[in-house]
Amino acid sequence: MDDAKKEELKKKLTDEEFAITQEGATEAPFSGEFYNHHESGMYTCKVCGAELFSSDTKFDSGSGWPSFTEAVNREHVDLIPDDSGGMHRTEVKCKNCGAHLGHVFDDGPSDKGGKRFCINSASLCFEQPK
């Protein structure tokens, strides 16, 4: 990221949002805005506004992070192998802007494809249906 872009994002985002979306940090469980949020609508990228997850796929995982069985469109996310921290995980990023969103695991509801997209609230905005 060039310095001008970085400065722009530092103004637009809180320190926590910057650390999570740009540096891959993780918010504390049960701390975010959306883990216990049940309204109908669309979750979009905090950084660029791309549509990422529909409330239709949101479920209560008990993890303390917003959890979804699927992205609204797989073309809107990048799934990247992540072996950091001694764990084999798959990172989820916004395809449009590269923001770190969270990780996807294979322990989601089996009747809905078995995936659990575990996403930081700080990476998301919520939009009600228009």
| Cα–Cα distance list, 46 to 20, 85, 101 (Å) | 11, 25, 9
Residue among 97, 109, 125, 126 that touches Fe ion (CB under 5 A): 97
* CA 10 to centroid of chain Cα atoms: 19
* Smallest gap from residue 21 Cβ to Fe ion (A): 8
Binders of Fe ion in range 14-53 (CB under 5 A): 45, 47-48, 50
When asked if residue 13 is in the footprint of Fe ion (CB under 5 A), the reply is no
User: Sheet containing 42-45: which strands, arranged edge to edge?
Assistant: 51-54, 42-45, 124-127
Q: Are the CB atoms for 35 and 26 separated by under 8 Å?
A: no
* Smallest gap from residue 88 Cβ to Fe ion (A): 25
Judge whether 94 counts as a catalytic residue: no
Residues that bind Fe ion in the complex, under the rule CB under 5 A: 45, 47-48, 50, 94, 96-97, 99
Catalytic residue IDs: 118
